[in-house]
Amino acid sequence: MRMIAALLLYCALTAAYAEVLPEVLPNAQLAAPPVPPPGFIPPPLNPTGVLLETRELASNVYALMSNTPFADNAGFVVGDEAVLVIDSHFNGEMGQQIIDAVRQVSDLPIRYLLNTNAFGDHVFGNYVFPAQTQIVAHQGTIDALSKSSVQGIARTMRGTVDGDLSVFDGVELRIPDVGFDRQWSVELGNTVVEMHWFGPSMSPHDSVVFLPKEKIAWTANMIFGAGTIPWARGGDLVAYKQTLVNFAEKINPQTIVSGHGDITDGDAVPRYLNYIDDTLTVACNVLRDGVESASVYANAELDAKYPIEPTLERLMTGFHRWNLKAVMADPAQCAAH
């Protein structure tokens, strides 16, 4: 009897663990982050001194572009009666900078704030938005944040801020109020704003904001800005590829505002797909030929056919090595490739 009870307890614990692990991947509970490959540097996201420049992309549609190569971008849309903001940035100071940028253009209430993923640099400004602002995110993002703490997330992001955890001072975790599964949308006067989840990419619940009439998308961490390659942080390039295929089938943006890096165009999707295909092929050939994989990913450089933004070369080389290592550590991806 006691053995049965122990077995039941074990099963319950294993089930809880298995259930928790994938959905909290971006956050504090990530039990064992993969060991980065040689040459990998964490994305430089330190918000100290970051200024957001307002760029009007279409009538009433604005991108907020960071003045450093990889710190977060954001955006907002002004409707007839209300404003919608995309991502709240790194901390209260940056969140306030977004509110101030909106106030330069409109006095309308900020009724919606969309969070594209569960990383601190996209959600830690939430708490400075008005109490009436509804915050919308994928349900998986809400679940992950509900199990997280500012301290926990900050610890996992230490490398992205040069170890300066004071950038998180004062941050309060404000969990989004409205969750969606595949799609959420709202009509803001003349502009329809959609939010989609196409599958896992850089993290499990990366979501895309899309304006169908203006053909503008905010792709957060799924598609970085001009001159980049994808980072399959969770390690599954085959799933990432499928997500991009779903993205291309469902929406067709002309302009892409990434969460990080400069504004790019819709061709970023085929560029990312080509890169993933090539990388799967290279990694799977290494596995097939029985070559020692660490010697390959540790020294890998990006082929010149991928145009890389010069200031991001080291960062992208690290992403490339991470992607190769991830496939080599998970040969099942080659069967699906």
Residues that bind Zn ion (CB under 5 A): 221, 259
Distance CA(205)–CA(195), nearest Å, equals 12
Q: Shortest approach of Zn ion to residue 199 CB, angstroms?
A: 17
For residue 193, list its beta bridge partners: 186
Q: Shortest approach of Zn ion to residue 121 CB, angstroms?
A: 5
Distance CA(33)–CA(120), nearest Å, equals 17
Distance CA(290)–CA(274), nearest Å, equals 24
Q: Which is nearer to Zn ion, 123 or 188 (CB)?
A: 123
Sheet holding 52-58, edge to edge: 52-58, 61-66, 74-78, 83-86, 110-114, 134-138, 178-180
For residue 179, list its beta bridge partners: 137
Q: Shortest approach of Zn ion to residue 122 CB, angstroms?
A: 6
Q: Shortest approach of Zn ion to residue 179 CB, angstroms?
A: 20
Q: Which is nearer to Zn ion, 91 or 221 (CB)?
A: 221
Q: Which is nearer to Zn ion, 74 or 280 (CB)?
A: 74
Please, where are the H alpha helices in the chain?
2-23, 92-105, 120-123, 139-146, 150-156, 237-250, 268-289, 293-297, 313-328, 332-336
* CA distances (Å), origin 20, targets 137, 151, 205, 232: 18, 19, 14, 20
Q: Which is nearer to Zn ion, 73 or 191 (CB)?
A: 73
Q: Which is nearer to Zn ion, 44 or 253 (CB)?
A: 44
Q: Which is nearer to Zn ion, 74 or 193 (CB)?
A: 74
Q: Shortest approach of Zn ion to residue 87 CB, angstroms?
A: 8
- At which residue do the structure tokens 């101030």 appear? 100
Q: Which is nearer to Zn ion, 39 or 42 (CB)?
A: 42
Q: Shortest approach of Zn ion to residue 43 CB, angstroms?
A: 7
Distance CA(274)–CA(267), nearest Å, equals 11
- The answer to whether 134 touches 178, Cβ cutoff 8 Å, is yes
Q: Shortest approach of Zn ion to residue 257 CB, angstroms?
A: 12
Q: How many CB atoms lie within 10 A of CB 157?
A: 23
- 234: Cβ contacts below 8 Å, ≥ 6 apart: 25, 200, 202, 203, 204
